[in-house]
Amino acid sequence: MYEITSLNDQGLGICYVNDKITFVSNTLIGDVVKLKIVKEHTKYNEAIVTRFLKNSPSKIKAKCPYFDKCGGCVLQNVNYNETLNFKKNKLQNILHKFAKIDVDVDIISSPKEFFYRNKISLKIKDSKIGYYSYGSNTLVEIKECIIASKAINEFIKEIPKFNIRNGEIVLRNNYNDELLIHIITNDDINIFPLDNYKVVGIIKNNELLKGEDHFIDIIDNKLFQVSYDSFFQVNREVASYIFKIIHKNIIKNKNVLDLYSGVGTLGINVCDISKTVYGIEIIKNAVLNSITNSKINNVFNTKYMLGDAAKVINKINDNIDVIIVDPPRNGLLRKEIDSIIKINPQQIFYVSCDPITLSRDLNLLCNNYNISKIIGLDMFPYTYHCESVCILERR
């Protein structure tokens, strides 16, 4: 028998089997378990529980019926405040370990603990619909996903009618519970009457089959057209906190670069208090969305550039005073950081969804910048992911 003594950054329980660190899914500190090692690596094992001999005092019943099988969520079996503590410790520990930054970080909670996601991506294998279990390609069939919005959950039962045998279906909903459906498959699919749902459009691969290939969503009273292949913040309510943090702290009347701008959200948010806002984004539809989004928000001081951030950043022919950067999980490339340092903005807002890549990048940026604030946000409740905004001021 083994006792779980701590959790790793992905919310997996840690114990030692013959002195080798072993990560055990769906366990909590204080659980005493019998386990089965499912994968042996040189430096660690992955294991699953075969029997709980003693339960952690923190344990509660997970709300999701698939929690112990599906790989999507962690820590659904403790109360929400404990998950916030986990994220606070995770962010602080990673900043300390990888960037030698010691800060007391607050995590802003999500107004919605469940039903917060406005987008999910379900796998379809041999006509079965679900998510892969943790670290594998084994499909766990699901009929609901309680971190996804209620509008998305309502629709899940209709998916079999599309007759997709193998592929993926991405369901998105907006503030008005309209749905945008993107199906990725080589199968011929069936389009059926959808009168009971507010389906705005159905796209198969990159072909529009029905309606529109985009819808309008809202964050913080601003309208955003979002195409099926454009990124959009998955937790609207927490995204609005990011808007407020940036709007409150940004130096006013300056030229701003919104690097990795998506549909223009973070840049448009500060247009009213900025000179010119430049955006750089690699997805064509997202750039087209951001041009539309400027118009529909009555904003006239934006300029968007399509292309790879690493290349396009060097083509801006203006002084940039503030950079807002919100990269994917991988963080910034070394050459992007070099370009940022060369541009020499007074202020940088680094919006990150991965504390490890954030810490790596801060190591380089902090030669020229001081950190004035780091704020954690629970954008993804009941997952191990941790969003943060780091405000850097030039020395």
Ligand X SMILES: C[S@@+](CC[C@H](N)C(=O)[O-])C[C@H]1O[C@@H](n2cnc3c(N)ncnc32)[C@H](O)[C@@H]1O
List contacts with ligand X (CB under 6 A): 231-233, 260-262, 265-266, 280-283, 286, 308-309, 326-328
CB of 231 to ligand X, least distance (A): 3
The helix or strand, by DSSP H or E, that contains position 364, with its residue range, turns out to be helix 355-365
Q: Do 138 and 151 form a contact (C-beta atoms < 8 A)?
A: no
Residues 6+ apart with CB under 8 A from 50: 33, 34, 35, 36
Residue 31 or 336 with smaller CB distance to ligand X = 336
Question: Quick one: 311 or 373, whose CB is closer to ligand X?
Answer: 311
Under DSSP, the state recorded for 62 is -
Residue 258 Cβ vs ligand X, minimum distance, rounded to whole Å: 7
CB of 143 vs ligand X, minimal distance in Å: 30
CB-wise, 4 or 365, nearer to ligand X? 365
Query: Which of 194/291 has CB closer to ligand X?
Result: 291
Task: Report in angstroms how near the CB of residue 211 gets to ligand X at its nearest.
Answer: 23
Residue 91 or 325 with smaller CB distance to ligand X: 325
Q: Tell me whether residue 323 or residue 371 sits nearer to ligand X (CB atom).
A: 323
Element containing residue 311 per DSSP (H, E)? helix 309-312
Closer residue to ligand X in complex, CB, 142/286? 286
**Nearest distance in Å: CB 304, ligand X:** 11
Long-range contacts of residues 152-155, Cβ cutoff 8 Å, at least 24 apart: 152/117, 152/118, 152/119, 152/120, 152/179, 153/115, 154/197, 155/179, 155/197
Closest approach of Cβ 280 to ligand X, in Å?
Answer: 6
Q: How far is the CB of 283 from ligand X (least distance, A)?
A: 4
SS3 category, 312? helix
Integer Cα distance of 239 and 110 in angstroms: 10
**CB of 9 vs ligand X, minimal distance in Å:** 19
**Residue 316: CB atoms within 10 Å:** 16
Nearest of 268, 186, 253, 281 to residue 219 by alpha carbon:
268
For residue 76, count other CB atoms closer than 10 A to its CB: 26
Nearest approach in angstroms of CB 287 to ligand X is 9
DSSP string across 149-204: -HHHHHHHTTGGGG--SSEEEEEEE-TT--EEEEEE-SS-------TTS-EEEEEE
Residue closer to ligand X by CB (options 50, 221) is: 221
What gap in Å lies between CA 252 and CA 246, rounded to an integer?
11
Q: In angstroms, give the least distance from the CB of 384 to ligand X.
A: 17
Looking at the Cβ atoms of 75 and 358, the one nearer to ligand X is 358
What are the residues whose beta carbons fall under 8 Å from the beta carbon of 276, sequence distance 6 or more?
A: 255, 256, 301, 302, 303, 318
Nearest to 207 by CA among 231, 225, 182, 230: 182
Task: In whole angstroms, give the CA distance from residue 375 to residue 245.
Answer: 9
Kindly tell me which of 124 and 337 has the beta carbon lying closer to ligand X: 337
Residue whose C-alpha is closest to residue 226's, from 264, 254, 257: 264
In the bound state, the residue with its beta carbon closest to ligand X is 262
